[in-house]
Chain A
Amino acid sequence: MATLEIRDLHVTVEADNSTKEILKGVDLTVKQGETHAIMGPNGSGKSTLAYSLAGHPKYTITGGTVTLDGEDVLEMSVDERARAGLFLAMQYPVEVPGVSVSNFLRTSATAIRGEAPKLRTWVKEVKEAMERLNMDPSFAERNVNEGFSGGEKKRHEILQLELLKPKVAILDETDSGLDVDALRVVSEGVNRVRETGEVGTLLITHYTRILRYIKPDHVHVFSAGRIVESGGAELADKLEEEGYEGYTKGGASE
């Protein structure tokens, strides 16, 4: 069973000629089949955690370990991490000029699966996955994320999640910028992947709204670069009522 283990993770960024510590000792274990929600106020370091796990070059790991099934993730390059089974649905997906969605998806699937998917079954697979996410077939011929609306970008991220079938999926604010319909469609996509029981999900969010569609097994409150409280789904209800104030006072904006 695939397990992502994060131990005492410390991460810094370079900003204005100074080094700023963003993550200050994160501990978290995500097992295949589990869904963990990470909730926290703006600027608490949620995206930093997501990017650091995926290997974004802007973030420097200054301490701690991350392993996937015992393998040292921090030693791997960005593409190696993806091929090892990590997937990051980004808060702000990037536009890639000149590369069509269909070409991108196929190249990516080829890299992740280790061989090119058979063309006939692949075309069908993509088409059906797009239909389930209410994506117009014309998206396949557009350039990756170029001119996509916020909601379209998020659907495109979940499309990749469905096609690439990672071991651990990190979804960074996949819910933000979505209207209710889009939120439902995207959540259904995430749930389809979860129902296979083969993915561990790390759902990063600011709002509890998405948790009505995607039921987490565990909820973690993130503040000032670390997990400050963990609990079951009921913790989300508490946050819904009380907000983050109890956690941020005197902590977050140091």
Chain B
Amino acid sequence: MAEAQNSPTLESARAGGPLPVGSTTAGSIAVAAESTVATRMSAPPSFDVTDFPVPHGREEEWRFTPLERLRGLHDGTAVATGEGVKVDVQAPEGVTVETVGRDDARLGKAGTPVDRVAAQAYSAFEKAGVVTVPKETVLTEPIRIAVHGEGGVAFGHQVIELGAFAEAVVVIDHTGDAVLAGNVEYILGDGAKLTVVSVQDWDEKAVHVAQHNALVGRDASFRSVVVTFGGDVVRLHPRVSYAGTGGEAELFGLYFTDAGQHQEHRLLVDHNTPHCKSNVAYKGALQGDDAHAVWIGDVLIEAKAEGTDTYEMNRNLVLTDGARVDSVPNLEIETGEIVGAGHASATGRFDDEQLFYLMARGIPEHEARRLVVRGFFAELVQQIGVADIEERLIAKIEEELEASVA
């Protein structure tokens, strides 16, 4: 695999300032006095859509996104329709499931919209969902949230809050067809453990733009697994910050971008608190004309965040010509007093020579392609560490392979 790799250490970052990164696309490590992640956004975070100008496409945060395919989510022309999406929440006993109004005090605590569509969603939703796992409640069954698109336009808001030392697994499935913009908040109390699996298994015309904000409490651990297969445009923005020391975040992602699809994952881990950890690992496979995957991995280590330990990685496997990947890891370090910081980005091709090699061993072409994709994802799936989620993902990948790698 013609792979470009990079995993600079902190040592090199300290010594050399901004480093050129040998990935297939741009990437950087900056030792910054002031966050460039913040300054390169076109407006400061806000809950109010009118605080953001309508993007024209050249802004840093929009430059990879096909605005014309957002169906008006970015310019105010998308208006909620009655039959937007249906949301069905199934929760085990002990969990509180509520639908609340805009003025509920529990909304907007984990983070603030950072771009126009997230602010649009916040300004436009009518009812929000709030799921609460009381303190010290350890669930043995997952909470399941099924979001099914009914063909309309919808703006959503969902809060999932775990009290201190609560433990839960949440599976959010997105299916059907919709134009959906939303914000999802994860609030973890001290010592809480939350695993969230968000599966974007949309029909092919769906447009889904969402910001996910996780606020990780003291000694809490947050694990996010984002799985994107479907949709015309999916643009997700998982963000993590910490409310106390000792927090841990693991952000895993898997995407399979087919012909014509735009799948964009923009991550930000804000190490705003000392002695926290983060680990980001996203992997994507692409095939077909105009398959476009974008991965932005911003990790910010603020001056006060001593003892931070972070690593981020993105790998892409391009199966055919005509697909495009933009992978931009970006690590900003404002303090040298940390345990570790690194990033890696690599994009490799599955090429005709590899195909020939496998076929020369008797393996039929479609099987050869599947073998490669399955193996590529398996490495990541094994890291998730929740057996039934791993199994489900493997099954999902098989299904996707069955459908698309012919």
Binds B, one of A104-112, A128-136, A209-217, A222-230: A104-112
* Cβ-based interface call for A99 (8 A): yes
Interface string of B87-121 (1 = CB under 8 A from A): 00000000000000000000000000000000000
Give Cα distance in the complex from A108 to B371, angstroms.
11
Q: Which of A79, A90, A99 contacts B362 (CB 8 A)?
A: A79
Q: How many whole Å from B398's CB to the nearest CB in chain A?
A: 14
Task: Kindly list chain A residues whose C-beta atoms are within 8 Å of the C-beta of B374.
Answer: 98
Query: Is B367 within 8 A of A111, CB to CB?
Result: yes
Query: Is A164 within 8 A of B357, CB to CB?
Result: no
Query: Is A98 within 8 A of B373, CB to CB?
Result: yes
Q: How many whole Å from A150's CB to the nearest CB in chain B?
A: 16
* Cβ-based interface call for A193 (8 A): no
Q: Which residue of A lies closest to B285 (CB)?
A: A98
* Cβ-based interface call for B376 (8 A): yes
Query: Is B361 within 8 A of A112, CB to CB?
Result: yes
Query: Is A82 within 8 A of B371, CB to CB?
Result: no
Q: Which of A82, A95, A100, A111 contacts B354 (CB 8 A)?
A: A95
Query: Is B1 within 8 A of A95, CB to CB?
Result: yes
Q: How many whole Å from A31's CB to the nearest CB in chain B?
A: 22
Q: Which residue of A lies closest to B363 (CB)?
A: A111
Interface string of A71-106 (1 = CB under 8 A from B): 000000111011100011010011111111001100
Report the interface size for chain A: residues with CB under 8 A from the other chain: 32
* Cβ-based interface call for B358 (8 A): yes
Query: Is B356 within 8 A of A57, CB to CB?
Result: yes
Task: Kindly list chain B residues whose C-beta atoms are within 8 Å of the C-beta of A204.
Answer: none
Task: Kindly list chain A residues whose C-beta atoms are within 8 Å of the C-beta of B361.
Answer: 82, 104, 108, 111-112, 160, 164
Report the interface size for chain B: residues with CB under 8 A from the other chain: 28
Task: Kindly list chain B residues whose C-beta atoms are within 8 Å of the C-beta of A81.
Answer: 360
Query: Is B362 within 8 A of A111, CB to CB?
Result: yes
Interface string of A21-58 (1 = CB under 8 A from B): 00000000000000000000000000000000011110
* Cβ-based interface call for B326 (8 A): no
Query: Is A99 within 8 A of B372, CB to CB?
Result: yes
Give Cα distance in the complex from A164 to B363, angstroms.
12
Query: Is A82 within 8 A of B1, CB to CB?
Result: no
Query: Is B354 within 8 A of A88, CB to CB?
Result: no
Give Cα distance in the complex from A144 to B360, angstroms.
14
Give Cα distance in the complex from A56 to B365, angstroms.
13
The prevalent SS among residues of B at the interface is: helix
Task: Kindly list chain B residues whose C-beta atoms are within 8 Å of the C-beta of A93.
Answer: 357
Query: Is A104 within 8 A of B371, CB to CB?
Result: yes
Task: Kindly list chain B residues whose C-beta atoms are within 8 Å of the C-beta of A83.
Answer: 362
Q: Which residue of B lies closest to A146 (CB)?
A: B1
Q: Which residue of B lies closest to A108 (CB)?
A: B361
Interface string of B340-380 (1 = CB under 8 A from A): 00000000101011101111111111010001111111110
Q: Which of B1, B350, B365, B377 contacts A79 (CB 8 A)?
A: B365
Give Cα distance in the complex from A146 to B372, angstroms.
13
Q: Which of A96, A100, A111 contacts B364 (CB 8 A)?
A: A111
Task: Kindly list chain B residues whose C-beta atoms are within 8 Å of the C-beta of A88.
Answer: 360
B1-54 contacts to A (CB < 8 Å): 1, 3
Q: Which residue of A lies closest to B361 (CB)?
A: A108
Query: Is A108 within 8 A of B363, CB to CB?
Result: yes
Query: Is B358 within 8 A of A96, CB to CB?
Result: yes
Give Cα distance in the complex from A72 to B228, angstroms.
45
A211-248 contacts to B (CB < 8 Å): none
Query: Is B379 within 8 A of A82, CB to CB?
Result: no
Give Cα distance in the complex from A88 to B357, angstroms.
9
Give Cα distance in the complex from A143 to B365, angstroms.
19
Query: Given A98-B372, A103-B371, A104-B371, A112–B354 Cβ distance below 8 Å?
Result: no
Query: Given A79-B364, A103-B375, A111-B364, A96–B354 Cβ distance below 8 Å?
Result: yes
Query: Is B360 within 8 A of A54, CB to CB?
Result: yes
Task: Kindly list chain A residues whose C-beta atoms are within 8 Å of the C-beta of B379.
Answer: 98
Q: Which residue of B lies closest to A99 (CB)?
A: B375
Q: How many whole Å from A172's CB to the nearest CB in chain B?
A: 11
Query: Is A57 within 8 A of B352, CB to CB?
Result: yes
Task: Kindly list chain A residues whose C-beta atoms are within 8 Å of the C-beta of B350.
Answer: 97
Task: Kindly list chain A residues whose C-beta atoms are within 8 Å of the C-beta of B187.
Answer: none
Query: Given A103-B375, A104-B371, A107-B371, A94–B354 Cβ distance below 8 Å?
Result: yes
Query: Is B357 within 8 A of A97, CB to CB?
Result: no
Query: Is A97 within 8 A of B363, CB to CB?
Result: no
Give Cα distance in the complex from A57 to B363, angstroms.
16
* Cβ-based interface call for B180 (8 A): no
Task: Kindly list chain A residues whose C-beta atoms are within 8 Å of the C-beta of B359.
Answer: 55, 77-79, 82
Give Cα distance in the complex from A56 to B355, angstroms.
10
* Cβ-based interface call for B207 (8 A): no
Give Cα distance in the complex from A90 to B353, angstroms.
11
Q: Which of B360, B376, B378 contacts A78 (CB 8 A)?
A: B360
Give Cα distance in the complex from A81 to B362, angstroms.
7
Query: Is B1 within 8 A of A97, CB to CB?
Result: yes
Q: How many whole Å from A225's CB to the nearest CB in chain B?
A: 22
Interface string of A153-168 (1 = CB under 8 A from B): 0000000100010000
* Cβ-based interface call for B301 (8 A): no
What are 12 A-B residue pairs whose CB atoms fall within 8 Å in the complex? A57-B352, A79-B359, A82-B361, A90-B360, A97-B3, A97-B348, A99-B371, A100-B375, A104-B358, A107-B371, A143-B375, A164-B361
Which 3 A-B residue pairs are closest in the complex by CB-CB distance?
A98-B376, A111-B362, A98-B375
Chain B residues proximal to chain A, CB less than 8 Å: 1, 3, 317, 348, 350, 352-354, 356-365, 367, 371-379
Give 13 new A-B contacts, CB below 8 A, not counting A96-B357, A97-B375, A99-B371.
Answer: A56-B356, A77-B365, A79-B362, A79-B365, A87-B360, A90-B360, A94-B354, A96-B354, A96-B372, A97-B348, A98-B317, A98-B374, A108-B358
